[in-house]
Amino acid sequence: MDPIHLRCSMFIFFTHSKFIRSTPEKIGSAPINHDTRQDGSALVLSLLILSVLTMVGLLAARTTTTEVRMATHDMRHKLAFYTAEGVAELVSEVLEQRLACPDGPAAGIGSSGLVQAETDDFWRNKRDAGRLPTDDNGSGTPVRDLRVPAGGSDEEPHTNIVVGGTTKLSVGNGLQTASGYEGNGRSLAVSGAQIVYDEIIQHVGPFNSEALIKIQWRHVIGREGRCSN
Q: Kindly write down the DSSP assignment for every residue of 178-197, as one continuous string.
A: TTGGGTSS-EEEEEEEEEEE
- Residue 18 reports pLDDT greater than 50: no
Q: What is the mean pLDDT of the chain?
A: 77
Residue 107 lies in a domain: yes
The region of weakest confidence among 150-154, 170-174, 224-228 is 170-174
Q: What is the pLDDT averaged over residues 132-152?
A: 90
- Give the pLDDT band (50/70/90) at residue 220: confident
> What's the pTM?
0.64
Q: What is the pLDDT averaged over residues 163-182?
A: 66
- Give the pLDDT band (50/70/90) at residue 13: very low
Residue 127 lies in a domain: yes
Residue 6 lies in a domain: no
The rounded distance, in Å, linking the Cα atoms of 203 and 148 is 9
pLDDT in tens, 81-123: 999 999 999 999 888 888 888 776 555 565 457 888 887 788 8
Q: How many domains does the chain have?
A: 1
Residue 136 lies in a domain: yes
Q: Report whether 204 contacts 160 (CB < 8 A).
A: yes
Residue 83 lies in a domain: yes
The rounded distance, in Å, linking the Cα atoms of 100 and 122 is 14
- Which phi and psi angles does 65 have, rounded to 5°? -65, -40
- Residue 191 reports pLDDT greater than 90: no
Name the more confident of 179 and 194: 194
Residue 20 lies in a domain: no
Residue 88 lies in a domain: yes
Residue 120 lies in a domain: yes
Name the more confident of 2 and 101: 101
Q: Report whether 92 contacts 208 (CB < 8 A).
A: no
Q: pLDDT value at position 30?
A: 54
Which domain, by its residues, includes 213? 73-164+195-217
Q: pLDDT value at position 16?
A: 47
pLDDT in tens, 35-52: 556 566 788 888 888 888
Q: What is the pLDDT averaged over residues 60-89?
A: 90
